[in-house]
Amino acid sequence: MACRERACPVAGGDALGQLAGFRRGVYRCLWRRADALFETMDAVLTAGRAGSLPYLSLEPGFRRGHGMVYQGLARGRVDEEALRDLLVAARPRQWPLVFAVDASVYPRPQAGASPGREWHHHACPGRHGSDGAAVAGWAFQWLAQLSFGADSWTAPQDQVRVGAGGDATRQAAAQIVAHAGRLRAGGQAGIPLYVLDAGYDEAPLTWDLREHLDRVQILVRLRSDRVLYRDPPPRIPHRPGRPRTHGAGRFECKDPATWGPPERELSLDDDRYGQVRVMSWSGLHPRLFCRGRFAAFAKPPVIKCHLIRVTVGRLPGGRAVPGPLWLWWAGPGSPDLDLCWRAYLHRFDIEHTYRFAKHALAWNGAALRHPEQVTRWTWLIIAVLTQLRLARALAEDHRLPWERRRRPGRLTPGRVRRDFGRLITLTGTPASPPKPSRAGPGRPKGRTSTPATRHPVIKKAA
């Protein structure tokens, strides 16, 4: 049943109305080939482990020919700004204002006709022609809200391709500024916390956000061998020479003798992590040089942070306890130590989202030639993940014989997906049915195809 101009049925409570409203909102964000793109998304929601895009056309929800799957991704258009607004509006309000920013690789090592491919780190030896060090492809940077619950759910709200020669740290800063602006426009009063891994340069990121650190806060992991500096003592009046930038004492993360007493400390006993201890020092800054991001500076800036050290007594599942965790925090006032350590440990939830998108939804299995097509495909995958989260309270558990029972509303994304075919019949689809048509004329006689243009893999500058 169609719901293009009228409300979908609300039987089942507000959750069903929210799901139906989100689906209508996604359809309005699709400009060209909207019906093909929307039904491709529904096919992903109801399919099993589809090995490639043409198999999605075999799903009952996709009422068009298999060629429309590729045509929608090749010629369709997505209003990305409107979709970002929709995803932020559909975010889980009961979750903390904590967001993870991370990038994942879309491997295309054998696609010589695909432009803009770069070498990216890939940690799966043997897969996609990777040796465990690098693979040719594109990198997509997601921004997702994190839950502090003991599950694998996240709420992706933005994605951007790290373009050829692009700086992931600069793009992360732009994503953070734009996303925080959407939160404020939606009436959100709190200060969001954005959590990033050690692959991002913490000092340049803080510098890029220097005009916004009264409205956002960032948390970035540091290596355990980093060295920071304290402020120098007050300068003696009328003393010749250039003023000192760094204090005499170094703060070496691996040498406790250089730490000094922490300014703030938190100690607690957690059910999952045992004895947790958090310490922080303020006013520390790294030694920067006039190269890279700061090559145009006559003198590199002094970028200060709050340095946080986290240790836990145990890890869930009996895994070995790693070394201490060092975190760089920047934002207004002082950090909330209890929020910081929990936020970073839950940053790894976005890795579960990536794994589900790749293994179950075949995000990185679509053989698409151009990165613009993959961008549209990624938006559809994010819309799929959002619908699964909105349907969590509605789905019935279709567990396999060897799986444990789960309480209603506590299903995993995979189990919610098993019941989505039933939920689509309740919400309806705003997509129009296909019009009667006949086969096209095909390739004109005497016309031959030529080999596609080959594009070398772009090597990033050191």
Average the pLDDT over each of 2-16, 205-219, 390-404 and give the range with the smallest value: 2-16
What pLDDT does residue 6 have?
Answer: 33
What pLDDT does residue 3 have?
Answer: 38
Q: Is the Cβ–Cβ distance between 276 and 312 less than 8 Å? A: yes
pLDDT band at 165 (very low <50, low <70, confident <90, very high): low
Average the pLDDT over each of 62-66, 293-297, 435-439 and give the range with the smallest value: 435-439
What pLDDT does residue 461 have?
Answer: 60
pLDDT band at 127 (very low <50, low <70, confident <90, very high): low
pLDDT band at 436 (very low <50, low <70, confident <90, very high): confident
Joined together, the tokens standing for residue 188 give: 């959100």
Fold observed for domain 83-233+247-354? Transposase Inhibitor Protein From Tn5; Chain A, domain 1 (3.90.350)
pLDDT tens sequence across 363-386: 988 889 999 999 999 999 999 999
Segment 335-339 mean pLDDT: 96
What pTM, to 2 d.p., does this model score?
0.91
pLDDT at 112 over 80: yes
pLDDT tens sequence across 391-414: 999 999 888 889 898 887 889 999
Average the pLDDT over each of 226-230, 236-240, 361-365 and give the range with the smallest value: 236-240
Structural Rg of the chain based on CA atoms: 25
Q: Which has the closest alpha carbon to 44: 429, 421, 433?
A: 421
Domain locations along the chain: 14-78+391-398+409-427, 83-233+247-354
First to last CA, the chain: 56
pLDDT at 304 over 70: yes
